[in-house]
Amino acid sequence: MRRTYLSFCFALVLFISFLTSHAVLAATGPTFTLSISDHNQKPGDEISVTVKGDNFNDVYAYEVNLEFDNKLLKLKGAKAEQESGFSISPIVKGNKIQFAHTKVGKVAGDSGKISLCTFTFEPIDSGEAQFGLKDVKLVNSQLASSTLANSAIVSAHVDKVLTNEMNFKDILNHWAKEAILAAVKQGFVEGYPDQTFRPNNNVSRSEFVAMLIRALKIQPTGGSSLPFTDADQIPDWSKPFVSEAVKLGIVSGYEDNSFRSADPISRAELAVMIVKAFGLQVDWSAKASFADANDIPSWAVPHVAAAADAGFIQGRGNNLFAPNDKATRAEVVNLILSMLKHKGL
């Protein structure tokens, strides 16, 4: 109840500020800088970017708009540097982040030199990443607002921890070894702490959706409630990925409107999701050419046919597709990589 009230208050502050004084200012008033924590950084370390300013006068609320390299980094979190007040969870759209914070109650705004907020990123690939502060909206305690255009830019070299076959002691002679290493390098799948990859383990529905969204380099925006009857059984770490997949039309529930997060994904379900995710053209009258085509659920037949015709899925011997068998981690990464190559991603 308190969070809802504070959210309403913050939205009201921003709305009223637009009705009072709204101007885009040059860099003659407050000035902004970006500072980055790249000192003595090791591969795989998180990177923090802090938005700082000077010459502030009575800052009661603010909204920061930052751009980042979403091919090299993913946002882990954002926080206001002020101890009091209320923050709105960061909104991520592509390479753009919007973050806002406000004080609460009849108090004066901050003045002088202020650190506004800090964004924390996790490397998903290696390279030179750039961060750009596009603009900052300030609201004073009288609810007058101003938007300050800005061009503060900072860059840092980021390194994703790469893995080779010596780190995974269980893939040395596995048929999917190269695909596994390529998938780990691209950052959409990881190994286990005991230096295994477990290529023959089944993949749960939540795990597969997370791999797929990461492979597409989509940063989940969150914020949408999940429509499934068993949404409370979906692990917190996977909820943003599942939510994003639902919004994109990649995944849906079962007839009873459950998602069944922990269930191993079947090869038929895998084919349908992968075809939807990568926009492969589907011929709804097509028939699968596998020997066990009659065992393929009717809702999956056109998608299995499309994936097979494109050469992305194969049978498991004797031209059997085995639609109800469970997909392994090795099969999943091999299929996703094939689709990424097909799409030029």
Confidence of residue 46 (pLDDT cuts 50, 70, 90): confident
What separation in angstroms does the CA of 100 have from each of 10, 32, 74, 185, 193? 9, 16, 19, 34, 36
The closest of 111, 137, 135, 113 to 10, measured between CA atoms, is 137
Confidence (pLDDT) at 162: 55
- Mean pLDDT is lowest, of 17-31, 90-104, 232-246, 250-264, for 17-31
- pLDDT over threshold 90, residue 252: no
**Confidence grade of residue 298 (pLDDT, cut at 50, 70, 90):** very high
55 and 31 Cβ atoms separated by less than 8 Å: yes
Give the pLDDT mean for 85-109.
94
Q: Residue 206 is inside which H or E element, if any?
A: helix 205-215
Tell me which residue has tokens 């002088």. Answer: 112
pLDDT exceeds cutoff 50 at 105: yes
- pTM of the complete model: 0.54
Question: What are the backbone dihedrals phi and psi of residue 246, each rounded to the nearest 5 degrees, phi first?
Answer: -65, -45
pLDDT for 162-189, tens place per residue? Answer: 545 447 889 988 999 999 999 988 889 9
Greatest mean pLDDT among 36-45, 199-208, 277-286 lies in 199-208
- Beta-strand runs (E) in 94-201: 96-102, 110-123, 127-139, 145-149, 153-158
Range 93-106 average pLDDT: 94
Distance, CA of 284 to CA of 316 (rounded, Å) = 24
Residue 30: alpha-carbon gap to chain centroid = 33
CA atoms lying within 13 Å on the CB side of residue 81: 17
Q: Which residues contact 47 (CB under 8 A, 6 or more apart)?
A: 36, 37, 38, 41, 73, 120, 121, 123, 129, 156, 158
| Mean of pLDDT over the chain | 85
Is a pLDDT exceeding 90 seen at residue 304?
yes
